[in-house]
Structure 1
Amino acid sequence: MASSTAAEPISPSNTRLGWIGTGVMGQSMCAHLIRAGYTLTVFNRTPSKAQPLLDLGAHQAHSPQALASQSDVVFSIVGYPSDVRSVLLDPTSGVLSGLLPGGILVDMTTSEPSLAVEIAAAAAEKNCHSVDAPVSGGDRGAKNGTLAIFAGGDKDTVHRLEPLFSLLGKVNYMGGSGKGQFAKLANQITIASTMVGLVEGMVYAHKAGLDVGLWLDAISTGAAGSKSLDLYGQRILKRDLDPGFYVNHFVKDLGICLKECQNMGIALPGLALAQQLYVSLKAHGEGNLGTQALILVLERLNNVSLAPAASSS
């Protein structure tokens, strides 16, 4: 089946999909593919997390290797670079030990660019293809199928995957292997400083006696408007700190960014500051909250609270 898809456009009738990692993002992304009619096999280290997808018609595999052996295109979206290495490259249980020649591996985890290059080389040795395609847009983007997808790898392979990517969001081809990861890391750098600006503005507005909700609406259509404001402004006010994207994973991403800055010999002080603020959340045991929980750091620093109960007196 892998050989037939090499010539034909990818469609539910000729392409079997595998998906590794059914967490906050993966759950919704998988559901779009199943609803589009694709045969999909899932693997998750915690099998119960895959149950909603099994209810939709997905099959379950007992290892990444077993999943790959019955898939033409395998997606992965897991936590850390070490997880990526384990599920894709492990010689006995990893995806590449089971993927047939002509198969395509699509890693959507935010990871190290050098690892993406390594995976692409390992895939090529087995006559397979690899694309690094991390995403931005959080849980809402995953649910709505509006993610920004940053793709690195062979251009023709990325183009072939368009029918699948279009179900998840908008794909942006960024260049060769690793370039998708570099694009996502630059995205995270931008988000980090934007989030610092948003929560600082909210604390300032609160301290100045403004109605913070009214203020958010007022600035949203001006030059200070941003996707971060749209996604998280009202969530912060409502004290909805549930993860669309985990603090723990953001700390991981920003750490990779700083490491790459060292490799490039560049100084990004805004990035370094944001990373320290997010590390302080993790130190307070708040790593499993969403990135909007940065408000907690600014509240502690300034001994204020924007929580609804405190502002309704």
Structure 2
Amino acid sequence: MTKIAVLGTGLMGAPMARHLGACFDISVWNRNPDRALPLADIARVARDPVEAVSDADVVISMLLDGEATEAVLIGKGAIEAARPGALVIDMGSVEPECDRRLADFASCHGKHFIDAPVSGGVVGAEAASLSIFVGGSTEDFEYAFRFLSALGRPTHMGPVGSGQVAKLANQLIVAITIGAVAEALHLAENADCDPAVLVQALKGGFADSRILDLHGNRMVKGDFQPGGRSAAQLKDLRNALDAAAQAGLTLPLARTVTDGFADLVNNKGGADLDHAAYFLWLKSLC
């Protein structure tokens, strides 16, 4: 049986590991061991990344950001310790250049590499319905397809790094739409229109969206427990703006919503709140 190591078992990584554990032989590691121990019923819990990957055919990384990912995959020796010819899959959201560097490092050590960031949040991870954006060779995508299909719907986007670009595009749409929904509900709330009724009334029209349904209702209920953390949203927005700058592009809406999330995260205590908490930031402006 194919052996898979999952590095990072936080809000997203834990349910993803559980789905993989139902189909494959897996090991897991997390920087905070308490986050990995609940998976002991379906996985071998490793003490460090090297132990986790030592007999792995596939290494899946689901870590916080590019810095953490490189620190574990390169700094802690996870890529080097994996089996010869192993496939390394970065499913976290990092800068495209980070995964290109990791792919080069993996190749130099006789390993394969693809980037496969996801969209769908904790809800999608728990339901195994994630959208998965894959960058890498056709052969590596085809090999990884059965593993990734246990987590959602994988789509091959192009060479290494293109999966991360697709994720950044996704995050732009998510963040800007959250901003639009927040402004609409803020207007309704302050102009004699019931926001809860508005969310229902908009269903089926051109303004309808998954963001309206999920995050609009979060805003109405005041439920900002994290499905997707505002700090993570801000990280992705900044990465998107960096990618745009490298391409010589100006993205005015992205800049505006990034500034809002930056204030929410850095000055309003919203780092660990769901990204729907942009609504709280908007309300703080009056």
TM-score, length-scaled by structure 2: 0.97
Contact 2:7 2:62 in 1 (8 A): yes
- Matched with 2:27 is 41
Contact 2:182 2:278 in 1 (8 A): yes
Please list every run of 5 or more consecutive structure 1 residues that lacks an aligned counterpart in the other structure: 1-13, 303-313
Rounded to whole Å, the distance in 2 between the matches of 1:99 and 1:155 is 22
- Matched with 2:243 is 260
For residues 53-76 of structure 1, the C-alpha deviation after alignment (integer angstroms, 9 at most, x for no partner) is 11x321111221221112110101
Rounded to whole Å, the distance in 2 between the matches of 1:262 and 1:33 is 37
Question: Which residue identity is paired with 2:252?
Answer: P
Please list, as runs of the form range in 1=range in 2, the aligned pairs for 1:130-279 lying within 5 A after superposition: 130-279=113-262
Contact 2:39 2:45 in 1 (8 A): no
Please list every run of 5 or more consecutive structure 2 residues that lacks an aligned counterpart in the other structure: none
The structure 1 residue matched to 2:13, chosen from 11, 26, 41, is: 26
Rounded to whole Å, the distance in 1 between the matches of 2:78 and 2:137 is 19
Question: Which residue identity is paired with 1:16?
Answer: K
- Matched with 1:117 is 100
- Matched with 1:107 is 90
- Matched with 2:60 is 75
Secondary structure in 2 matching 1:161: helix
For residues 281-313 of structure 1, the C-alpha deviation after alignment (integer angstroms, 9 at most, x for no partner) is 1121210111000011111112xxxxxxxxxxx
Rounded to whole Å, the distance in 2 between the matches of 1:214 and 1:257 is 34
The structure 2 residue matched to 1:295, chosen from 266, 272, 279, is: 279
For residues 168-192 of structure 1, the C-alpha deviation after alignment (integer angstroms, 9 at most, x for no partner) is 1100100001000011011111111
Rounded to whole Å, the distance in 1 between the matches of 2:192 and 2:18 is 45
For residues 231-262 of structure 1, the C-alpha deviation after alignment (integer angstroms, 9 at most, x for no partner) is 21112211110111111111111111111111
Q: 4+ residue stretches of structure 1 with deviation over 2 A?
A: none
For residues 65-114 of structure 1, the C-alpha deviation after alignment (integer angstroms, 9 at most, x for no partner) is 22111211010111111001101111xx2211201211010001110111
> C-alpha displacement at 1:220, in angstroms?
2.1
Rounded to whole Å, the distance in 1 between the matches of 2:277 and 2:133 is 26
Rounded to whole Å, the distance in 2 between the matches of 1:291 and 1:220 is 21
CA RMSD of aligned residues (A): 1.0
Secondary structure in 1 matching 2:202: helix
Question: Which residue identity is paired with 2:16?
Answer: M
Secondary structure in 2 matching 1:87: helix
Contact 2:18 2:42 in 1 (8 A): no
Rounded to whole Å, the distance in 2 between the matches of 1:286 and 1:82 is 22
Q: Give identity over the alignment, percent.
A: 34
Rounded to whole Å, the distance in 2 between the matches of 1:79 and 1:220 is 34
Work out which of the two has the higher radius of gyration on C-alpha atoms and give 1 or 2: 1
Contact 2:120 2:131 in 1 (8 A): yes
Secondary structure in 1 matching 2:264: helix
Rounded to whole Å, the distance in 2 between the matches of 1:97 and 1:159 is 23
Rounded to whole Å, the distance in 2 between the matches of 1:298 and 1:248 is 16
Question: Which residue identity is paired with 1:67?
Answer: A
> C-alpha displacement at 1:52, in angstroms?
1.6
Rounded to whole Å, the distance in 2 between the matches of 1:229 and 1:53 is 33
Rounded to whole Å, the distance in 1 between the matches of 2:77 and 2:133 is 24
1:58 aligns with 2:58: no
Rounded to whole Å, the distance in 1 between the matches of 2:271 and 2:137 is 36
Rounded to whole Å, the distance in 2 between the matches of 1:296 and 1:104 is 42
